[in-house]
A and B are shown apart, each in its own frame.
Chain A
Amino acid sequence: MIELKNVSKEFVSPKKYPGFKGAIKGLFSNEKVRKVAVDDISFTIEKGEIVGYIGSNGAGKSTTIKMMTGILNPTEGTCLVDGIDPSKNRKENAQNIGVVFGQRTQLWWDLPLSESFTILKEIYDVSDEDYANQMEFLNRVLELDEFFDRPVRTLSLGQRMRADLGAALLHNPKVLYLDEPTIGLDLVVKDNIRHAIKEINEKYQTTVILTTHDIGDIEELCSRIIIIDEGKKIYDGTLEDLKDTYGKRRKVTMEVRKPDLLKELQLFQKIESVNDVQITENDYDSVLDVEGKTYTVSFDKHKMQVPQILSAVMELTEVTDIKLQETELAEIVKEIYNHGGV
């Protein structure tokens, strides 16, 4: 459905200098700054997939989306959406896609929502029958009829986002691009939007590409995720794989009576000697908080088990409470951003 081959995008802008003197210097200088927003990205997305496209702010997510929608032309490489090159046949491509930019609206600001839908019906050449069917469906999943006659500028953010999603889906596009569709929404609306996306994907086999900072969106919607950082693709695979690779660490926090006694503890040697396994320094990480009387160990769950740690600790001091944590996806993602790669 979507095929990106070695796509790069470079922005060139005049060089800015700091301060007032710099502003004047800027008037006369002709120096340019090159910034590579997207650097040699390739991937293929099949029909009906929901792909989470994630990365930190400024990683190049929106730029990639803009190239796939035909707003920006790639500096290098080719991009094909359903066999059409958006940079060459923008209008043809636009007929096949629906786009929601969470921070913008494509609706007519001063007019009732219903007017925007009428105009979109004509733009996309939707037949009366399709329009009626699609509106019925959209009303059911997005509940647009509550505010269908109100001017768009009077809608709340949640209503506007639902309206925008509805507008993007009116012509039943083959591909739906969602750029931060749940930004700034409360939990209930977020949930509604996610349900709607899921239902549309199931009903029409719509391919969905979603950029978000909300881990909940990814966990609920995406079967596959692509992570980019500083314009480069650093991960492409299923959510489960990612969790398997990075989610193997667990964290146990123990409240102990006499933390001083644990200062000398060499946990991995202790466990190695008892259990006959090879453990390296990298497999675990321990923090002793003497003041708060806690001892925290994060470890590879394939190498060590909680009872082993517990018994090693309990040989030295009494444990009053323990807490066990699985790694969350948010932490995995954070770790990937920080380390800049898989």
Chain B
Amino acid sequence: MKKLLRTYLPFVANEVKTQLAYRGAFYLWAFISLFSSFISYFLWMAIYGSSESGVIGNLTQNEMVVYIFMVYITSSLVSISVSTWVGYDVVEGRVAMNLIKPIDYRASLIAQAMGDMLYHLVVPSVFIWIGIEIYKVFVLGMPVISLPTLLLYICSVLMSFLLYVLFDFCFGMLAFFTTYIFGLRMAKSALLSFLTGQLIPISLFPEAAQRIFDCLPFSSMIYTPVMIYLGKYTGEELVWAMGRQFIWVILLYWLGSLIWKQVTKRLVVLGG
């Protein structure tokens, strides 16, 4: 375990440093995605304004505000696109450079993703989170988040992170077969914004669709931690939600190992 940490910690650290080297690009990205959160904020406010009931899909107007911005925070912590890295590595033939080292390719990618997550945690997630809590308490008049809920949220986010990264690793393996996965990645992110509950809370979908979503790993990526944060899951439901996350982590880890084994067997390194 100690050896494992020693080997892969530098990957975490190096990724943070790389992010710092390109921080301009990151700020721009953070700003633009926050902007889109505000768009959905105003959209939802208009919808609540014209609605009679005041509760849509189990969420009150105030909860929806928290939902929108917590989705932003959660997805910036969780959705770290390792498939992009895999894609570049394949196109530029860099996979070979990873294979000549006594390291596990996937573990190094996860470590690298963790560096990204840590960086996103500081800029901008923590600040936006503080902003949300202040707004929540002073403007919306809701109680401040309780410590146990916060801890459960953090636990759930960590599992979501693993879940997303492991899934995206499997997805990135497609690059070995198609060589170029930019288009596929676009399709993936469009589909995921639906299935993870990033665009619309999953509780808004019809009952039957929700059942299907329950069987897929995607709702566990963003929807679950945010619902935990909102305190929507209690007791048995909470155990189920987190248990599902855990099971998906195991399943995707196993699937990833299986695919990786097949891929390295038929590996063709591009470019000489």
Q: Which residues of A contact B (CB under 8 A)?
A: 11, 13, 62, 66, 69-73, 90-92, 94-95, 97, 99, 101, 103-106, 108, 110-111, 115, 118-120, 122-125, 151
User: B99 is contacted by which of A90, A108, A151 (Cβ under 8 Å)?
Assistant: A90
Contact between chains at B17 and A71 (CB < 8 Å): no
Contact between chains at A62 and B7 (CB < 8 Å): no
Contact between chains at A122 and B7 (CB < 8 Å): yes
- Give bound CA distance, A13 to B267, whole Å: 12
Question: By DSSP majority rule, is chain A's interface helix, strand, loop, or mixed?
Answer: mixed
- Give bound CA distance, A94 to B104, whole Å: 11
Q: How far is the CB of A71 from chain B (nearest CB, A)?
A: 5
- Give bound CA distance, A310 to B9, whole Å: 75
Q: How far is the CB of A192 from chain B (nearest CB, A)?
A: 23
Residues of A within 8 Å of B93, CB to CB, are 104
- Contact sample, A vs B, 29 pairs, CB 8 Å cutoff: A13-B268, A66-B96, A70-B99, A71-B96, A72-B269, A73-B267, A91-B102, A91-B103, A91-B104, A92-B102, A94-B99, A94-B100, A95-B102, A101-B97, A104-B96, A105-B97, A106-B101, A108-B18, A111-B18, A119-B10, A119-B11, A119-B14, A122-B9, A122-B10, A123-B10, A124-B101, A125-B3, A125-B6, A151-B21
Q: How far is the CB of B142 from chain A (nearest CB, A)?
A: 43
User: B14 is contacted by which of A71, A99, A108 (Cβ under 8 Å)?
Assistant: A108
Q: How far is the CB of B178 from chain A (nearest CB, A)?
A: 12
Residues of B within 8 Å of A110, CB to CB, are 18, 21-22
- Decide yes or no: A123 and B94 within 8 Å by CB, A99-B100, A106-B101, A115-B17 being known contacts: no
The answer to whether B235 has its CB under 8 Å from any CB of chain A is no
Q: Report the 9 A-B pairs with minimum CB-CB distance, sorted nearest first.
A: A94-B102, A119-B10, A91-B102, A99-B100, A106-B97, A95-B102, A71-B99, A110-B18, A71-B96
Q: How far is the CB of B182 from chain A (nearest CB, A)?
A: 19
Residues of A within 8 Å of B9, CB to CB, are 122
The answer to whether B183 has its CB under 8 Å from any CB of chain A is no
- Give bound CA distance, A54 to B158, whole Å: 51
Q: How far is the CB of B26 from chain A (nearest CB, A)?
A: 13
With both beta carbons as reference points, the residue of chain B lying nearest to A96 in the complex is identified as B102
Contact between chains at A124 and B269 (CB < 8 Å): no
- Decide yes or no: A73 and B102 within 8 Å by CB, A103-B272, A111-B18 being known contacts: no
- Give bound CA distance, A92 to B97, whole Å: 16
User: A124 is contacted by which of B97, B102, B265 (Cβ under 8 Å)?
Assistant: B102
Contact between chains at A94 and B101 (CB < 8 Å): yes
Residues of A within 8 Å of B6, CB to CB, are 122, 125
Residues of B within 8 Å of A95, CB to CB, are 102
B 35-73 binary contact with A (CB < 8 Å = 1; else 0): 000000000000000000000000000000000000000
